[in-house]
Amino acid sequence: MKDIGQMVAEHPFFEGLAAEHATLIAGCGGLAVYDPGAYLARAGSPAEHFFLIRHGKVALEVRPPGQDTFILDSVSAGEMMGWAWLYEPYVWQFDARAMDLVRVIEFDGACLRGKCEADPALGYDLMKRFARVMVQRFVDTRLQLMDVYGSRD
Amino acid sequence: MAVGTERAAASADDVWVPRPWVVRSATREIGDTVTLEIEPRDASAARPVAPGQFMMLYIFGVGEVPISVSGTGPTSGLLHTVRDVGAVTHALCNLGVGDVLGARGPFGSAWPIDEHKGCDVVIAAGGIGLAPLRPVVRHVLERRGEYDDVVVLYGSRQPDQLLYTPEFERWRAAGIQVEVTVDHADQTWDGHIGVVPTLVRHARFQVDEAAAFLCGPEVMMRFMAQELVDRGVVPERIHLSLERNMKCAVGMCGRCQLGPEFLCLDGPVFPWTRVERLMAVPEL
């Protein structure tokens, strides 16, 4: 079986990562499995982790008061989930529910923040990777907000 | 662009005159969308149709609309999937078996599927945009060995607005990768959530050997084409179907003009490289 360092290096989110950085990051990670319906994160709870999805699909959800739960986005194998651990107050904004059997590498946020503070090159590399995903999801959300399937399609 | 002799020759036939066609079946696909199978009352009115082309369907006393061919029926009929969005489409959606409508065509350019034999094929659709692409899927299914990996990426606003879902399992059984997403859903949905271009990131195909066929809302196609190009697909191998307010269908009235292009005649299927710049001009 591959060790976490190999899994980190091979995950698309960390494509091209320097070997020494992969080792540092892997030191904060562990494997986890979530059964269908289990929650990886709950809105309002401390955001202590982020996840590299290795298998399965995770729904990002919100439950408006008095209404049914609403799925905002889904994150699948090969993608990263969770950036609330990066910024104070380190609190999840949305629920994250396993839509099927989900296998992840789960990273300890405090551990990784400490390593980023100590090694600015690692921190900068990591921030660039998170920023790219954030921008992509921002663009996707804008397109979603356009509701393109209106009467003109 | 001037109307050339080829165009004049093309319109010299009986293309202006709607011929009577009979509804053989009417199937409600989803709430506001119906698939009609129609056949010419006089068999001599039938013309060969290529995937991607459209017909002008005419409801007497109401009006005429362009509707893409979404397949062929069990016999010699043509399938048209119509969404109820206006007076004419409302009337079309309420036709029953045996009713007569007017039809002329087919018109327009076709998907260049045969040019990409041996390639991976990406078929990406949004909303009712899957209708003009279903003949491409069926074409590939009938000639599965002539194409490598085939991917269908399809999205709609919500799960109950997805077209042709009963066919998806048959497509998957034939080795086609079918990825479906919706913009919004509740917890009963177990597929992807998000816009169609995000599906490209989950699709498995060789980017340098892929041809892509896109149909859906224009803004979706723009983002999808860009996503494909970013991933490495050759821009010249991306084709899309554009629809504007087509009226005459033979490049005479100019209602569907997009810059120098008459969508009804030069299109509706275009290479991405030919219309990319035009699609970015708000005034067009």
Spell out the residues 6+ positions from residue B178 whose beta carbon is closer than 8 angstroms to its own.
B151, B152, B154, B168, B171, B172
- Whether the pLDDT of residue B119 is over 70: the answer is yes
Nearest to A140 among B184, B194, B217 (CB): B194
Mean pLDDT across B21-47: 92
Spell out the residues 6+ positions from residue B61 whose beta carbon is closer than 8 angstroms to its own.
none
Residue of A54, A71, A152 to mutate when probing chain B, most B C-beta within 10 A: A71
Mean pLDDT across B200-207: 90
Q: Which of B56, B80, B107 is the last residue of a domain?
A: B107
Strands A95-98 and A80-81: unpaired
User: How many distinct structural domains can be found in chain B?
Assistant: 2
Note the pLDDT tens digit of each residue in A83-107: 999 999 999 999 999 999 999 999 9
Domain parsing of chain A, residue ranges = 4-138
B65 with B166, same domain? no
Architecture of the domain made up of A4-138: Sandwich (2.60)
In a domain, B235, yes or no: yes
What string of DSSP letters covers A34-67? E-TT-EEE-TTSB--EEEEEEESEEEEEE--TTS
- Whether the pLDDT of residue A152 is over 50: the answer is no
B201–A71: do the CB atoms touch at under 8 Å? no
In terms of CA atoms, which chain A residue is nearest residue B126?
A149
CATH number at residue B43: 2.40.30.10
In a domain, B284, yes or no: no
* ipTM surpassing 0.95: no
B268 with B133, same domain? yes
In a domain, B61, yes or no: yes
Q: Which of B107, B130, B145 is the last residue of a domain?
A: B107
Residue of A55, A135, A148 to mutate when probing chain B, most B C-beta within 10 A: A148
B127 with B220, same domain? yes
B194 with B55, same domain? no
Note the pLDDT tens digit of each residue in B142-170: 999 999 999 999 999 999 999 999 999 99
CATH number at residue B267: 3.40.50.80
B266 with B140, same domain? yes
pLDDT of residue B1: 35
B147 with B63, same domain? no
B128 with B98, same domain? no
What range does the domain containing B168 cover? 114-279
> Chain B closest CA to A39's CA: distance in Å?
13
B121 with B101, same domain? no
B25 with B136, same domain? no
To 5 degrees, how large is the angle CA B129–CA B133–CA B134?
110
To 5 degrees, how large is the angle CA B143–CA B144–CA B145?
95
Which comes out higher in pLDDT, residue A49 or A153?
A49
- Whether the pLDDT of residue B2 is over 60: the answer is no
Q: Which of B74, B107, B140 is the last residue of a domain?
A: B107
B245 with B161, same domain? yes
Nearest to A144 among B156, B183, B187 (CB): B183
pLDDT of residue B11: 46
